[in-house]
Amino acid sequence: MAKHDTPMLDELEKGPWPSFVTDMKRQAETHPECWDILGQLELSYEDRITHWKHGGIVGVFGYGGGIVGRYSDVPDRFPGVEHFHTVRVNQPAGLYYSTENLRALMDLWDKYGSGMTNMHGSTGDMILLGTRTENLEPLFWDLTHDLGQDLGGSGSNLRTPSCCLGESRCEWACYDTQDICYALTMHYQDEIHRPAFPYKFKFKFSGCANDCVAAIARSDFAVIGTWKDDIQIDQAAVKEYVAGNYPANGGAHKDGDWGPFNLKKEVIDLCPTQCMWMEGDELKIDNSECNRCMHCINVMPRALRPGKEKGATICIGAKAPILDGAQFATMIIPFIEVSKDNEYENIIDVIERIWDWWMEVGKNRERVGETMQRVGLPTFLSVMEVEPIPQHVKEPRSNPYVFWKEEEVPGGFERDIVEFRKRHAA
């Protein structure tokens, strides 16, 4: 495996930013198969078509996921990437590693693979890029036996759950994201390691609406922390912000020249529900209008914090564009308690209600968000046994027809025809 001429890729090394081409060339010095990745990519640029083949039957014994098979369709020219499978390693909750563990993982990957990684993939896993079929079993053995780590999900499996770092470092976390992420990973081992559905299904857990794992955009089942009662306000700290004694946004933007802090411009006017105002030098919030977006709290963390009655909102059905376009998740359950005391039984109930319905009604390769769209939100809400509320409604209706179900009509649809005909002769 020798170096190839890659004039087009070399262009991507110019400029002040990091370059994956430079990284791969460096990696190729110890793992020559990386020259063939570059060579094949250059060829793809010339031919304007991918030279990777997807699919097939790679994996480790007993598992139906965790390895993504990749083959070159020009192996004679690029033997180093004849097989170039991806290994997904289940990341620790909140992405905490010891340096010792990271070194051990990299040693393992240097031994069995190309040494190239993607930390982390959008699913959340640590992605080890590029190995041959015959390396998979020994790699899996060492990973599970020496490092005590496991593969994540792929294909039609439950994908590796992921979470924000939550209570471990962030005072805004409205529940313990890492605990539920770990608990459900353990609870659903079978679903993660073997295909369980007509298509992929993802859980993600964010501790608040800042949504640091982008659950609302990337997961079929997004659990996003929120609170029921009032935002906690420290009026003395509000005054300190106004006086310029506390840096806004925790000092995050202090290098820019933004002028003095302006509470009206930066907080009140940007509140999406327009539910904040000043009364004298007191900040007021109409909490019944607040949608818990976190904006004001982000700007003035020392003056404002989430309420005390904490839990989560469940949003369902986000996805990337595969069959239809990309979509965000839809808010279905405005507030649910998230507590380890009941081993997340109430959340598990919601999850399994969705699965039972989606497996039955969903089409092949249809994400739950697409199934929801196909049947319509009212139908989905009734499947979930959730009462519709105004927040479920996106816009006023444009369809003038109202359909009632029999149970919604007092007296039902049955009528005594004789009684009716007495008043309306045929």
Among 356, 378, 412, 421, binds other proteins (CB under 8 A): 356
- Residue whose pair of structure tokens reads 């069995």 in the numeric block: 112
Residue 297, C-beta contacts closer than 8 angstroms, at least 6 positions apart: 172, 231, 304, 305, 306
C-alpha pair distances (Å), 254 with each of 17, 165, 248, 250, 267: 24, 25, 8, 9, 17
Which of ligand SF4, ligand HEM, other proteins, none has residue 271 at its interface (CB below 5 to 8 Å by kind)?
A: ligand SF4
* Tokens standing for residue 140: 């899996």
Spatial distance between the Cα atoms of 90 and 412, rounded to a whole number of angstroms: 54
Which of other proteins, ligand SF4, ligand HEM, none has residue 127 at its interface (CB below 5 to 8 Å by kind)?
A: ligand HEM
One symbol per residue from 25 to 54: x for binding ligand HEM (CB under 6 A), - otherwise; what is it?
A: -------------------------x-x--
SS3 331: strand
| DSSP β-ladder status, 116-119 and 126-129 | antiparallel
Among 242, 271, 283, 347, binds ligand SF4 (CB under 6 A): 271
* Piece in contact with ligand HEM (CB under 6 A), picked from 13-21, 123-131, 207-215, 274-282: 123-131
CB of 320 to ligand HEM, least distance (A): 4
Closer CB to ligand HEM, 328 or 335, in the complex: 328
Strand-pair partners of 226: 311
CB of 52 to other proteins, least distance (A): 10
* Tokens standing for residue 341: 């005391």
Return the ∠ at Cα 385 (arms to 380 and 387), rounded to 5°.
90
Query: Could you say which residues in the range 299-338 bind other proteins, by CB under 8 A?
Result: 322
Spatial distance between the Cα atoms of 113 and 132, rounded to a whole number of angstroms: 8
Query: Could you say which residues in the range 159-178 bind ligand SF4, by CB under 6 A?
Result: 164-166, 170, 172-173
Closer CB to ligand SF4, 130 or 306, in the complex: 306
Residue 329 DSSP code: P
Q: What are phi and psi of 182, to 5 degrees?
A: -65, -45
CB of 407 to ligand SF4, least distance (A): 36
C-alpha pair distances (Å), 319 with each of 196, 360, 397, 410: 18, 20, 25, 41
Contact flag: residue 64 with other proteins (CB under 8 A): yes
Closer CB to ligand SF4, 28 or 231, in the complex: 231
Contact flag: residue 372 with ligand SF4 (CB under 6 A): no
Closer CB to ligand HEM, 129 or 312, in the complex: 129
Helices (H), 188-280: 189-193, 215-218, 235-242, 263-266
Which amino acid belongs to residue 73? D
Contact flag: residue 84 with ligand HEM (CB under 6 A): yes
* Tokens standing for residue 131: 């190995």
Closest CA to 3 of 109, 115, 78: 78
Closest CA to 192 of 207, 203, 180: 203
CB of 63 to other proteins, least distance (A): 9
Residue 153 burial class via C-beta count within 10 angstroms: exposed 0-12, middle 13-18, buried 19 and up: buried
* Piece in contact with ligand SF4 (CB under 6 A), picked from 53-61, 130-138, 247-255, 273-281: 273-281
* Piece in contact with other proteins (CB under 8 A), picked from 155-163, 218-226, 246-254, 268-276: 155-163
Among 23, 47, 56, 244, binds other proteins (CB under 8 A): 56
C-beta neighbour count of 149 within 10 angstroms: 19
Which of other proteins, ligand SF4, ligand HEM, none has residue 295 at its interface (CB below 5 to 8 Å by kind)?
A: ligand SF4
Contact flag: residue 310 with ligand SF4 (CB under 6 A): no
Spatial distance between the Cα atoms of 25 and 95, rounded to a whole number of angstroms: 28
CB of 221 to ligand SF4, least distance (A): 16
Contact residues: ligand SF4, CB under 6 A: 164-166, 170, 172-173, 206-208, 210-212, 225, 271-273, 275-276, 285, 290-296
**For binding to ligand HEM (CB under 6 A), which residues are involved?**
50, 52, 68, 70, 84, 86, 121-123, 125, 127, 320
Q: Which residues bind other proteins (CB under 8 A)?
A: 53-59, 62, 64-65, 68-69, 71, 133, 154-157, 190, 194-200, 322, 355-356, 359-360, 363-365
